[in-house]
Amino acid sequence: MRMTVFGTGYLGATHAACMAELGHEVLGVDVDAVKVDRLCQGEVPFFEPGLPEILSRHVESGRLRFTTDYAEAAEFADLHFIGVGTPQRKGDFAADISHVEDVVARLAPLVSRDAVVAGKSTVPVGTAARLQEIADRSAADGVRVDVVWNPEFLREGFAVEDTLRPGRIVVGLSDPECAARALIDEAYAPIMESDPCPVIVTDLATSEMVKVSANAFLATKISFINAVSEVCEAAGADVTVLADAIGMDPRIGRKFLGAGLGFGGGCLPKDIRAFMARAGELGAAQALTFLREVDTINMRRRDKMVDLAAEVCGGTVIGTTVAVLGAAFKPNSDDVRDSPALNVAGMLSLKGARAVVYDPQALDNARALFPTLAYADSALEACEGADVVLVATEWGEFVELEPAAVARVARGRVLLDGRNCMPGERWREAGWTYRALGRGVSA
Ligand code: UGA
């Protein structure tokens, strides 16, 4: 089957490569000519484990191509996926859906036979209906462009796995009988044959809301444990043991109860804000006021980390050196969008510390975003002369650091664990002061 994928970021490039892996002929489309050039050479412009291998393989075989040419894309296929970004709008917290609208407004007039546009981007409820109006207005006489919604649930770092073996496929249709359904079924048929998963077919609005609700729930779960973590700190309790214990109840589950610096990235923070903004537009603002608190709790963890650094430095970080291990918003990613790690490094620096940042993959992106911070090329180099070592992203190589090796280069003997990922006991035995978010001093 032939298909196009508009947008070649984390979502679009992964979807395009994975669709080729499933046996389809795929044309990826982006307005960014530089990005398209790199992709045409089989290069992935961001870090995503497993993606370069499948993308380059299918570029080489000719099953996967990339272009900036909308007319070529309109001609190439009858199924067009959209995976362009919906960033947080400047000025308010709503999602900017202009990129999604642009794709439909530009593509629809170029389509010469009936076609289906399947949105994958995370959008405010009502967007698909609006896109259908744009398509109806812009398509040539006698040509029908159907808009359907097929939200994506992939996690960065596991994008290939999540796309090829999804936990569920959600399809929103304006009309349950519409012909679009058959094209979507055909696209996912190879998954249904090899690794079947539940398929939920519903209306457009529900399918759009499934995605934002899922992300809002995940964010709420993280902020719940981080709120409990604040009480644990006050009471001298250990949030990690508590999370293990409550997580054993299958109604709760242990996943996403990782207490620490909280959530960042290009999805969870902006999605909960956009969800609140959209609820407000719909007259249902009150229903989601709790998400404001979810956001506040999340941001407060970053302040707490900075306060803890000041506390272990005797009340102020002025004049100290803090090694910040981690810049990406989570491990196995080079994404620094709304990264708690970089936010903490920035705040420490503003408060007078010399924050020296290291990350195994995200250094280039971090340097571009925060050029004034100091950067190191290895964890040990970041720790040279450090009064405090602060783990802000739980990369495996930090967890495996040898306390003795760090002690040889650092000035102080204080390890702050912002992700509850370090073997604290080992560090204590090696003579370090180990402090972690959400755990009493004795934990
Ligand atoms: C998230 C969702 O998990 C995906 O299902 C969704 O498809 C995606 O957003 C999206 O909307 O595109 P992602 O942003 O890649 O995926 O990252 P997550 O693994 O969800 O982590 C988000 C943040 O929460 C990270 O900063 C992570 O460190 C933090 N987190 C996660 C915690 O603080 N504690 C946890 O227990 C889990």
pLDDT in tens, 174-198: 988 888 999 999 999 999 999 999 9
pLDDT of residue 173: 97
For the segment 148-175, what is each residue's pLDDT rounded down to a tens digit?
999 999 999 999 999 999 999 999 999 8
Task: Please determine, for residue 440, whether its predicted confidence score (pLDDT) is greater than 80.
Answer: no
Nearest alpha carbon, ligand 1 atom 22: 263
Q: Choose the catalytic residue: 18, 232, 267, 421.
A: 267
Closest C-alpha to ligand 1, atom 16: 155
Distance 411 CA to ligand 1 centre (A): 34
Nearest atom in ligand 1 to the alpha carbon of residue 157 is 15
pLDDT tier, 441 (very low <50, low <70, confident <90, very high otherwise): low
Kindly state if the Cβ of 267 falls inside 6 Å of ligand 1. yes
User: From CA 312, how far away is CA 403, in angstroms rounded?
Assistant: 18
Provide the 10 A C-beta neighbour count for residue 155.
15
Using most ligand atoms within 8 A of CB, pick from 162, 218, 419 the residue to mutate for ligand 1. Answer: 218
Give every CB contact of residue 418 below 8 A, 6+ residues apart in sequence: 260, 261, 305, 326, 340, 341, 344, 390, 391, 392, 436, 437
Give the tens place of pLDDT for each residue, 192-219: 999 999 999 999 999 999 999 999 999 9
How far from 264 is each of 79, 219, 222, 271, 336, CA to CA, in Å? 33, 10, 11, 11, 8
What percentage of the chain reaches a pLDDT higher than 90? 97
pLDDT at residue 362 greater than cutoff 70: yes
Residue 24 pLDDT > 80: yes
* Binding site membership of 260 for ligand 1 (Cβ less than 6 Å): yes
CA of residue 277 to ligand 1 center, whole Å: 21
Average pLDDT over residues 296-306: 98
Arithmetic mean of pLDDT, 404-415: 98
- Asked, colleague to colleague, whether 2-197 and 217-436 share their fold, the answer is yes
Which atom of ligand 1 lies nearest, measured to the CA of 154? 7
Residue nearest to atom 8 of ligand 1 (CA): 155
Identify the pLDDT of residue 388: 98
Residue range 69-112, pLDDT digits in tens: 999 999 999 999 999 999 999 888 999 999 999 999 999 999 99
Q: Does residue 15 line the site of ligand 1, with CB under 6 A? A: no
Please give the number of the atom of ligand 1 that sits closest to the Cα of 211. Answer: 11
- For the chain, what is the total number of helices (H) and then of strands (E)? 18, 14
Q: How far is CA 359 from CA 268, 323, 375, in A?
A: 22, 11, 9
Contact 233, 442 (CB under 8 A): no
Q: Is 345's C-beta closer than 6 angstroms to any atom of ligand 1? A: no
- Mean pLDDT throughout 342-370? 98
Q: What is the mean pLDDT of residues 14-29?
A: 98
Nearest CA owner, ligand 1 atom 29:
263
The protein residue whose alpha carbon is closest to atom 13 in ligand 1 is 155
Going from N- to C-terminal start, the domains of the chain cover 2-197, 217-436
Measured by CA distance, the residue closest to atom 28 of ligand 1 is: 330
Helices 268-281, 204-235: inter-axial angle, 10-degree rounding:
120
Task: Respond yes or no: is residue 178 known to be catalytic.
Answer: no
Q: Tokens 């917290």 map to which residue?
A: 93
89 pocket-lining for ligand 1 (C-beta < 6 Å): no
Pairwise CA distance, residues 104 & 92, whole Å: 24
- Ligand 1 atom 5: residue of nearest CA: 153
In CATH terms, the fold of domain 217-436 is: Rossmann fold (3.40.50)
Q: Which pLDDT does position 403 carry in this prediction?
A: 98
pLDDT at position 238, please? 97
Question: Which CATH number is 2-197's, of 3.40.190.10, 3.50.50.60, 3.40.50.720, 3.40.50.300?
Answer: 3.40.50.720
Residues listed for the chain: 443
Averaged confidence pLDDT in the chain: 97
Rounded mean pLDDT, 346-369: 98
State how far Cα 365 lies from the chain centre: 15
In whole angstroms, give the CA distance from residue 277 to residue 97. 13
Query: Kindly report the CA angle at 99 between 201 and 85, in degrees rounded to 5?
Result: 70
Query: Taking a C-beta distance cutoff of 8 angstroms, is the pair 295, 269 a contact?
Result: yes
**CA 186/CA 169 separation, integer angstroms:** 13
Cα separation, 326 vs 358, whole angstroms: 6
Q: How confident is the model at residue 176, as a pLDDT?
A: 82
Q: Is the CB of 418 under 6 A from ligand 1?
A: no
pLDDT of res. 443: 47
Q: Is the CB of 258 under 6 A from ligand 1?
A: yes
pLDDT over threshold 60, residue 271: yes
Termini Cα distance of the chain? 56
Reduced to 3 states (helix: H, G, I; strand: E, B; else coil), residue 249 is coil
Closest atom, ligand 1, to C-alpha of 222: 34
Pocket flag, ligand 1, residue 156 (CB < 6 Å): yes
Atom of ligand 1 nearest to the CA of 10: 12
39 vs 175 pLDDT, higher one: 39
